A and B are shown apart, each in its own frame.
Chain A
Amino acid sequence: FGLAEMNGPVTTETYKAGAISHPKEAAKGGWSPYVDNGGTVLAVCGEDYCVIAGDTRMSVGYSINSRTVPKLAQLTSRSVLASSGMQADALGLQKNLKARIVMYEHQTGKEMSTPAIAQMLSTTLYYKRFFPFYTFNVLGGLDADGRGCVYTYDAIGSYERVTYASSGSGSLLVQPVLDSQVGFKNQPKQMQRQLTVAEAVDLVKDVITSAGERDIYTGDYVDVYII
């Protein structure tokens, strides 16, 4: 483009001048191996189903890198992993898990059950306790008895089996709604009931839409997996 002739030697300062610098760099002038790609994931389970969903927006700082990056990965015929946080680490984690699931199937001749995957995910995350995967995971699926299950994780592998969970930049917006409409919290005991698959799917769609209204990092499309 003839920049060198026009402006003299092009330095890194010139390139940085127009760009919005990354929030983490700007703060201290340092470098971080982590980046938050934003997004929200959630899962709701019932007697014999699990609905797990996540938006598809991938952002860095205030920019949108892609509107169509899925956060959900199907691991077996009965379990799906949803990862919010840093998508590079999510991809690395998925690759790791998928490989080990295949090895398990070869060694035992059986498909890995969701509770087994849940524990394996926990140990995988804790293995990197001192340089963690920057991922906030929700694992959804059917257990060995065919009942729906949802497991929620922190970045270093602490996990719990629950009936519903959410994670990511919009989780603060989404979680109270799940508490109210799936957990029936702060409502009289008579109101408690099991949601049907259709109700769960409608709720999940509404809730992630609402999160998309208020959270800048959530939006574009939503992947919904019904197991």
Chain B
Amino acid sequence: DPYCFALKMSILQYNGGSVIAMTGKNCVGIACDRRFGVQQLTLAGDFDKVFKINDKLFLGLPGLATDMQTLHEKLRYRVNMYRLREERDVSPKVFAKMVSSILYEHRWGPYFTEPVIGGLEGDKPFVCSMDLIGCPMVTDDFVVSGSSNESLLGICESLYIPDQSPEDLFETLSQCLLNAMDRDCISGWGATVHIITTTGVTSRNLRTRQD
């Protein structure tokens, strides 16, 4: 049918979306775009992909939206059980291992999401990304994931400066996300940025190009 469009895309690009996490001096920034769409159709501009696990730990889940929601709920359950048993908050390293294990359990029928974790281990920043079957990658600068993966890597590689203050980290992180997002058709429609410090979390919604 010549009037019916169905683009041939990878399943990880069905909904689109991007997430990025970056380290600073005793702080971590994690940010995502806010678009929710189905292939080329945009349905919402308030669909965050970064979730709070606890005051010092955030999780970003780009990729297939249904898998992102399911995984978020599964992890919320596991984290709550952890908190009941251990009587303390889960640390980023342990949480990363938890996510990795859950993803690998589904090695042959995976969740189509490539998570990004940003948090504070004590007061040291911790960022980690994973592929869809749970292979973790811990770096000391930045991690990216989502449909504008390559663009994010390119601009982070150029603009990143180690040990920035929370204010400077916010600016750098935002510029990296915004400019990379603007070169990707299936990411965009606003952005949410969280800056995690030892004293608290500052969350900001950015107004961006709405196209």
Contact = CB atoms under 8 A, between A and B. Distances in A.
Contacts of A207: 158
Contact of B155 (A176, A187, A213, A215): A176
B182 interface: yes
A210 B151 contact: no
Interface in B128-162: 150-155, 157-159
Given A180-B175, A186-B175, A186-B208, A210 B182 contact: no
| Interface class of chain B by DSSP | helix
Nearest to A183: B179
A173 interface: yes
B178 interface: yes
Nearest to A211: B154
Contacts of A170: 154
B117 interface: no
B121 to A, nearest CB: 26
B154 A210 contact: yes
Interface in B157-183: 157-159, 174-176, 178-180, 182-183
A176 B157 contact: no
Which bracket fits the contact residues of B? 10 to 19
Contact of B153 (A173, A181, A187, A206): A173
B180 A176 contact: yes
Given A173-B153, A186-B175, A186-B182, A180 B159 contact: yes
Interface in A196-219: 206-207, 210-211, 213-215
Contacts of B183: 172, 175-176, 179
A185 interface: yes
Contact of B179 (A179, A210, A213, A215): A179
A177 B178 contact: no
Nearest to A173: B154
B182 A173 contact: no
B208 A176 contact: no
A174 B154 contact: yes
A170 B155 CA distance: 11
Contact of B154 (A172, A186, A187): A172
Contacts of B153: 173, 214
B181 to A, nearest CB: 9
Contact of B158 (A177, A185, A215): A177
Interface in A11-32: none
Contacts of A187: 175
Contacts of B159: 177, 180
A55 to B, nearest CB: 14
Contacts of B179: 176-177, 179-180, 185-186
Interface of B: 150-155, 157-159, 174-176, 178-180, 182-183, 208
Interface of A: 170, 172-177, 179-181, 185-187, 206-207, 210-211, 213-215
Given A173-B157, A177-B159, A215-B150, 6 more contacts: A173-B154, A173-B155, A180-B155, A207-B158, A210-B154, A214-B150
